[in-house]
Amino acid sequence: MKSVPLAEFMQALKEQGRKAEVLPEGVTFQEDVVYGHGPGTELKLDLFDRKARGSGPRPAIVFIHGGGWSAGDKTQFHVQCAYLAAQHGMLAVSIKYRLSQEAPFPAAVQDCKCALRWVRAHAAEFGVDPKRVAVAGSSAGGHLAGMVALTPGVAEFEGAGGHAQASSHADAAVLINAVLDFESRARSEFASERVLQFLGGAYKDIPQVYRRASPTRYVGPQSPPALILHGADDETVKSSQAVDLRDAYFRANAHAEIEIYPGVGHGWFNAAPHTWTTLQRIEQFLAATFKLPLTAPLPKLRTYAKT
């Protein structure tokens, strides 16, 4: 990956979105770092770090790609990782997990939790604050991020991928066009082949699995702060899922922020100019949640359907 001045990276990010395949100067990139193991397979992540880490422990964030639990790859969030490493000195990683054709639910959830345990197990090595570890994801990855964030300590979702001595809980969550409630969705829509493969069958046959796999069902007073981003015109995952999660947070008296972006559909954040817009919103949320100093004031953000 080519290294360029920060200003050039920022311009490429604004103009090209996810396709900005450059690295800001001062940021290091490590590919295919093994963070855990599944049966017969290595679990790998891509790691972005700032050469000059500064003093004191800093936050970390784990990004989880989408792809219907059966496709996608860890390059999806490279630009977000590079930006957060450059601007805030965060340790930012983007992970690969076992796909549904290899291992159905809850294997992918277990892999993602293992990634957070890996970060905490290496906290001293990387200068990470183990009390400031966030999780983020989109679509199927948003579902997995939601499961990580909302099921701390649930034994069946921990798995045996490694680093059992460390905690897998998330201190904050960013959920982008995420699948959040399989159960309610199954009552009003036909499940896609990807959902059937991931969960192992139809709702009528295994309703308890659809319930257990729904992040919204786990919201409680101790749920970590969440930022929920969704496209108003998303036909793949209805924005009502985002609103329902926000409402569950409010009922539990937990902190959630929501942005419903008009005129955009599923996966809109991958393309310019939306990559930059959503990244600014994520940055704003993480800065407030983790008490990050901003090197420069963020530009005033447009307020969408935030309620």
Q: What is the pLDDT of residues 39-60, one digit of tens each?
A: 999 999 999 999 987 778 999 9
* Tens of pLDDT, residues 137-165: 999 999 999 999 999 999 999 999 999 99
Quick one: pLDDT at residue 305? 39
Q: How big is the chain, counted in residues?
A: 307
Q: Does position 126 have pLDDT exceeding 60, yes or no? A: yes
pLDDT-derived band at 188 (thresholds 50, 70, 90) equals: low
Domains and CATH numbers, the chain: 2-180+215-290 (3.40.50.1820)
The residue written with tokens 């937990």 in the block is: 254
Quick one: pLDDT at residue 52? 83
Structural contact between residues 229 and 281, judged by C-beta atoms closer than 8 angstroms = yes
Please report, for residues 59, 108, 147, the alpha-carbon distance to residue 289 in angstroms, rounded to integers and kept in the order given: 10, 27, 20
Amino acid at 302: R
Q: Would you give the end-to-end CA distance of the chain in angstroms?
A: 40
Whole-structure pTM value: 0.95
